């Protein structure tokens, strides 16, 4: 699987779990089918600007996206989102977004973080994201907004 997919999966994992060590992150990635080493994860962490912060229990640490690099992080996540999207179509008040292999979860998280008012909710499978829209009349507009975030030349 590609570096982009792996990094999207890392974002997905650290958003759902309090990961304290690189070894723990490697174990999660391996459970998800990514054959990685600790050295690879270490490079990804550095490249993505991820650091350790105090976990919610106040006693342990966990990996999180570095707030000080929010603009750089946003650019990187947008770049990963662009790389993951294969197609965007709509039917009624549902947007159906096809992604590269194992990229739907992180893509869905990115979409949720956009906080677009017409989005009611987002559900991700392995390679597909379903976006529930508040009104079928807003589907085309939302599709265009998402396409504007991507390289539309590769989408159909």
Residue 22, domain extent: 3-65
Note whether 119 and 111 are within 8 A (CB).
yes
**Is 72 part of any domain?**
no
88/147 same-domain check: yes
Domain boundary among 17, 35, 65: 65
Residues 54 and 88 in one domain: no
In this structure, are residues 122 and 52 in contact, taking their beta carbons and an 8 Å threshold?
A: no
Last residue of a domain, one of 14, 32, 65: 65
User: Exposed/middle/buried for 50, CB within 10 Å: 0-12, 13-18, 19+?
Assistant: buried
Q: Is there a domain that residue 74 lies in?
A: no
CATH number at residue 104: 3.30.1360.40
pLDDT digits (tens, 9 = 90+) for 99-126: 988 888 888 888 888 888 899 999 999 9
Whether 73 is in a domain gets the answer no
Region 84-95: mean pLDDT is 92
89 shares a domain with 145: yes
Residue 15 is assigned to a structural domain of this protein: yes
Angle at 11 between CA 131 and CA 107, to 5 degrees: 20
Distance CA(40)–CA(87), nearest Å, equals 29
The CA distance from 20 to 14, in Å, is: 10
Q: How many domains does the chain have?
A: 2
Distance CA 33, CA 56 (A): 28
pLDDT digits (tens, 9 = 90+) for 4-15: 888 888 988 988
Same-domain pairing of 50 and 105: no
Q: What is the mean pLDDT of the chain?
A: 84
In a shared domain, residues 53 and 90 = no
Same domain, 44 and 94: no
What is the tens place of the pLDDT at every residue in 24-83?
Answer: 999 999 999 999 999 999 998 888 878 888 887 878 888 887 554 444 446 667 877 888
Residue of higher predicted confidence among 65 and 93: 93
């Amino acid at each position: 699987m590609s570096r982009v997919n792996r990094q999207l999966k890392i974002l997905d994992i650290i958003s759902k779990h309090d990961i304290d060590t690189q070894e723990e992150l490697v174990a999660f990635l391996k459970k998800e089918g990514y054959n990685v080493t600790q050295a690879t994860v270490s490079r990804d962490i550095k490249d993505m600007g991820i650091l350790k912060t105090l976990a919610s229990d106040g006693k342990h640490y966990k990996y999180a996206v570095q707030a000080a690099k929010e603009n750089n992080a946003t650019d990187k996540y947008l770049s990963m989102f662009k790389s993951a999207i294969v197609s965007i179509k709509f039917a009624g008040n549902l947007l159906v977004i096809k992604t590269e292999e194992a990229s739907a979860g992180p893509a869905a998280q990115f979409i949720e973080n956009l906080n677009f008012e017409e989005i009611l909710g987002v559900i991700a499978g392995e390679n597909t994201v379903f976006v529930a829209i508040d009104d079928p009349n807003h589907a085309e507009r939302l599709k265009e907004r998402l396409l504007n975030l991507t390289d539309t030349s590769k989408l159909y």
